[in-house]
A = this chain, B = another copy of it.
Amino acid sequence: MKKYTVFLVDDHKLFREGLKLLLETLNYIEAVWEAENGKQFLASLNLHKPDIVFMDIEMPEMDGIATTEKAIELFPDLNIIALSIYGNENYYTRMIKAGAKGFVLKNSSLQDVENAMANVLNGDNYVSQEILNRLINSIDKKKNLNSDFLTEREKEVLFHICRGLSNQDIANVLYLSKRTVDKHRENLLFKTDSKNTAGLVMYAVKNGIVDI
């Protein structure tokens, strides 16, 4: 039986180690390597060339999107599967554009992860069922959508607002200054003609920027 090597890129040590243990229970996994951010991963790519990479999106130093772009530039046939807690549109579309061949949510089952690996090794793309549903829903919503005038960054900030994050929190996850997030929020209020957070969230829900 052919065995495969896997590279986990994730800043959450606990998650990384848990997934490593899970993967090691599979008899066709030969080795599991780890990195805690994009830079570390890219640096060790020359030494360790994995069959599959699981890539987190939100990471310090260098996030999953930039890392994927760079890695695919260096090794175009690298099999990268995005691993994210959130299935929001910004994330999966950007990861796919960057060259990822799969997208799996962190609340998926090991079975999902296995499916993703099998498909990707077979040269196919893979997105988990949940993401697939969201994609289909978002296509329906796009039909009569009126939020094109929000920039990508604004939608991203809005998404995190809906998650209940404060501006400081958002600044932390996006690696920005809090004052920048303040400004994005201010612009969002103006653009969506809202008075406060409640209005922003309602707008996001109505326009499919967050899933209900």
Contact = CB atoms under 8 A, between A and B. Distances in A.
Interface of A: 161-166, 194-202, 205-206, 210, 212
A210 B202 CA distance: 9
Given A197-B197, A198-B198, A198-B201, 17 more contacts: A162-B198, A163-B198, A164-B194, A164-B195, A164-B196, A165-B198, A166-B196, A197-B198, A197-B201, A198-B200, A201-B202, A201-B205, A202-B212, A205-B205, A205-B212, A206-B212, A212-B212
A195 B163 CA distance: 10
Contacts of A195: 164
A101 B61 CA distance: 64
Contacts of A201: 197-198, 201-202, 205
User: How many identical chains are in the complex?
Assistant: 2
B212 A164 contact: no
A165 B212 CA distance: 22
A53 to B, nearest CB: 33
Contacts of A162: 198, 202
Contact of A199 (B164, B200, B202, B212): B164
A200 B194 CA distance: 16
A195 B161 CA distance: 11
A139 to B, nearest CB: 18
Q: Which 3 A-B pairs have the closest CB atoms?
A: A201-B201, A164-B199, A197-B197
19 contacts: A162-B198, A164-B194, A164-B195, A164-B198, A164-B199, A164-B202, A166-B196, A196-B197, A197-B197, A197-B198, A198-B198, A201-B201, A201-B202, A202-B205, A202-B210, A202-B212, A205-B205, A206-B212, A212-B212
Contacts of A165: 198
Contacts of A199: 164
A166 B212 CA distance: 24
A89 to B, nearest CB: 17
B212 A161 contact: no
Contacts of A194: 164
